[in-house]
Amino acid sequence: MRKLAIVVDAAGLVISSLLPLKPALVGLYPIFFCSAFQWGVYSSANGYNSATIFSSNNFKQALLGWTQYFLTDPEFKKKGILYTNTVLSFFIGACYGAVVVNAFAVRAAYFGFIPLATGWILVVKHSMVLESERPQEIEKEAETELEDAELLEEEQK
């Protein structure tokens, strides 16, 4: 689904660049569709709810994560880092978009392929890591289950 989301985003960029400029709202329809699709595919990250298309809640969650980390539990550092990176990525993407739209108008949509290509590489790399770890995880799970079975057998004797 993550690869499909990137393909849908790429199609949305192309369609947006080909639509007429008047009325301007028409050019946003592909973006709305892509955003909805993205929302469904990327709704969580590392066990936390994460909205990739809105930054206000992510900013709030970043502040909460860092506050909880400093005041209570070191485990919340992961949350602070995740949401801080999400907010920074959103901000950098918005700045990048503003600069290229100012310079290239509607054709700036094609500059969206640069972050999409980066995302594609990360998704493919992540899936390769998951596939390569799978045999090791299965072996560890099997060892744990064997130990549990041996303990249960000893308890029943």
Range 52-67 average pLDDT: 86
pLDDT digits (tens, 9 = 90+) for 21-46: 788 788 788 888 888 888 778 777 77
Give the per-residue pLDDT at 152. Answer: 80
Residue 50 token pair: 């994460």
| 3-class DSSP state of 20 | coil
* pLDDT over 60 (residue 133): no
- The reported pTM is 0.67
Q: Residue 52: what pLDDT?
A: 67
User: 2, 12, 51, 18: which is closest to 34 by C-alpha?
Assistant: 12
Using a CB cutoff of 8 Å and minimum separation of 24, what contacts does 95-104 make? none
pLDDT at residue number 134: 61
Average pLDDT over residues 63-78: 91
